[in-house]
């Protein structure tokens, strides 16, 4: 369980096994022949832009949307055909807040506890612990509709965890959540992982993606790459140069079509330029910028982040 490598994950009995999954909406192929496995205790991240198919995939994993083709197993249980049995062992938190806004925090927790037939004493202790961890103890009698965005998401997580799921599915759980709540949120996730709960989450936040044990880069309904964050970064073709400049936009535009430049990404006041060979291209680019009269405050080789990996992946697919 401690191993993060793909080989070991595949060897173990997978907590989630997705096999050749497809789903179309009209002419749009939302999920296109996707296969992957998640080992017990992993935090598996689905990363990709909006419209990549993350939510469709999550919904099929949760058994609320039927696939056109393919098969999903949770702990060896077929989600399609043994739906009720599978649902006993999973918890799903949809992207849109799915709890009852006209019920209080405590009432929502009670309701979901009952739906999962949690013993009363278990429910009490679990909800105390979770409310405390989420910082919601003082809000238990407040209507869910009157909570802040972050509190709502934490309440969603509490309701999802009021029974002991083997697999926890979180669809963009921290979108629109303040940093403090996000920290609480992740603290709970790490605890769960220690208890052996498998977590599959989708996220658009790259810093959050880095926290996952394994990542699937989703684009156009397909998984383009799937590995640990470290390996994904290592596998990125080329090296990354970070340029700090007063006018990063101009730098970004000027360098894109220079020889040896594989891609360029604007990141605030910086530009991430991916080149085939850092040592060879650094002086070349420096000279070029000098000729063009474009000032930079610095240029250095840096380790890529997940976002760089993702953008590199898209660049490789569709060369400009």
Partner 1 sequence: MNLRRLFALAWKESLQIWRDPRSLAIALLMPLMQMGILGYGVSLDIKRVPLCVFDQENSQQSRAMVNSFVASGWFRLSRRLVRDDDVRDAMDRGSCSAALVIPVDFSRRLSQHGSAAVQAIFDATDVNTTNIALGYAQGALALASQQMYARWAAAHGVAATRVGQVDLEPGTWFNETLDSRNFIIPGVVAVILALVGAQLTSLTISREWERGTMEQLISTPVTALEVMLGKLLPYFAIGMLDAGFCLATAVFWFHVPFRGDLFTLLITTLLFLVVVLGIGYLISVRIRSQLGASQVALLLTMLPANLLSGYTFPIDQMPGAIQTLSLVVYARYYVSILRGVFLKGSTIDDLWFPIAGLSLYALLILWLAARAFRKRLD
- 285 contacts 296 by C-beta, under 8 angstroms: no
Site for partner 1 contains 146 (CB under 8 A): no
CB atoms within 10 A of CB 25: 10
**Contact 97/148 with Cβ under 8 angstroms?**
no
Residues 68-87 that bind partner 1 (CB under 8 A): 83-84, 87
Report how far residue 160's alpha carbon sits from residue 156's, in angstroms, rounded to the nearest whole number. Answer: 6
- Provide CB contacts within 8 A for 275, sequence distance 6+: 238, 239, 240, 241, 260, 261, 262, 281, 285
Q: What H or E segment, with its residue span, contains residue 34?
A: strand 28-38
> Which residue, among 83, 82, 74, 134, has the nearest Cα to 108 in the 3D structure?
134
Report, in Å, the least distance between residue 12 CB and partner 1. Answer: 25
- Of these, 15, 34, 38, 62, which contacts partner 1 (CB under 8 A)? 62
The interface with partner 1 within residues 153-182 (CB under 8 A) comprises: 156, 159, 169
Tell which one of 2, 7, 26, 96 touches partner 1 (CB under 8 A): 96
Report if residue 98 touches partner 1, rule: CB under 8 A: yes
Identify which of residues 107 and 210 has a Cβ nearer to partner 1 in the complex: 107
Q: Which stretch binds partner 1 (CB under 8 A): 29-37, 95-103, 182-190, 214-222?
A: 95-103
115 scored as a contact of partner 1 (CB under 8 A)? yes
Contact between 88 and partner 1 per CB under 8 A: yes
> To the nearest whole angstrom, how small is the minimum distance from the Cβ of residue 23 to partner 1?
9
User: Rounded distance, CA 309 to CA 110, Å?
Assistant: 43
Contacts of 246 (CB under 8 A, 6+ apart): 295, 297
Asked if residue 64 binds partner 1 (CB under 8 A), the reply is yes
Query: Looking at beta carbons only, is 65 or 244 nearer to partner 1?
Result: 65
Give which of 239, 244, 224, 249 is closest to 310, Cα–Cα. Answer: 224
**Rounded to the nearest whole angstrom, what is the least distance from the CB of residue 307 to partner 1 in the complex?**
29
Give the residues lining the site for partner 1 (CB under 8 A).
59, 62-66, 83-84, 87-88, 90-94, 96-103, 107, 110-112, 114-117, 156, 159, 169
């Amino acid at each position: 369980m401690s191993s993060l490598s793909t080989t070991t994950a595949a060897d173990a009995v997978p907590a989630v096994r997705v096999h050749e999954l497809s789903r179309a909406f009209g002419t749009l192929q939302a999920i296109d022949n996707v296969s992957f496995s998640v080992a017990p205790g992993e935090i598996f991240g689905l990363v990709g832009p909006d419209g990549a198919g993350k939510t469709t995939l999550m919904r099929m994993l949760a058994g609320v949307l039927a696939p056109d083709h393919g098969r999903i197993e949770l702990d060896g249980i077929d989600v399609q055909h043994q739906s009720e049995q599978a649902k006993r062992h999973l918890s799903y938190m949809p992207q849109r807040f799915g709890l009852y806004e006209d019920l209080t925090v405590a009432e929502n927790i009670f309701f979901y506890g009952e739906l999962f037939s949690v013993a009363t004493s278990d429910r009490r202790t679990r909800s105390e612990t979770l409310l405390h961890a989420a910082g919601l103890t003082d809000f238990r009698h407040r209507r869910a509709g009157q909570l802040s965005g972050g509190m709502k998401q934490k309440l969603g997580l509490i309701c999802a965890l009021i029974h002991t799921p083997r697999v926890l599915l979180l669809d963009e759980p921290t979108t629109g959540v303040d940093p403090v709540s996000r920290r609480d949120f992740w603290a709970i996730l790490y605890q769960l992982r220690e208890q052996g709960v498998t977590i599959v989450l989708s996220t658009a936040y790259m810093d959050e993606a880095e926290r996952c044990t394994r990542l699937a880069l989703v684009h156009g309904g397909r998984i383009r790459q799937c590995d640990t964050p470290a390996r994904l970064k290592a596998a990125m073709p080329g090296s990354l140069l970070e340029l700090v400049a007063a006018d990063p936009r101009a730098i970004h535009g000027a360098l894109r079509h220079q020889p040896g430049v594989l891609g360029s990404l604007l990141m605030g006041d910086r530009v991430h330029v991916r080149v085939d060979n850092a040592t060879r291209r650094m002086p070349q680019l420096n000279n070029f910028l000098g000729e063009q009269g474009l000032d930079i405050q610095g240029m250095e080789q840096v380790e890529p982040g997940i976002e760089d990996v993702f953008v590199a992946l898209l660049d490789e697919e569709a060369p400009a």
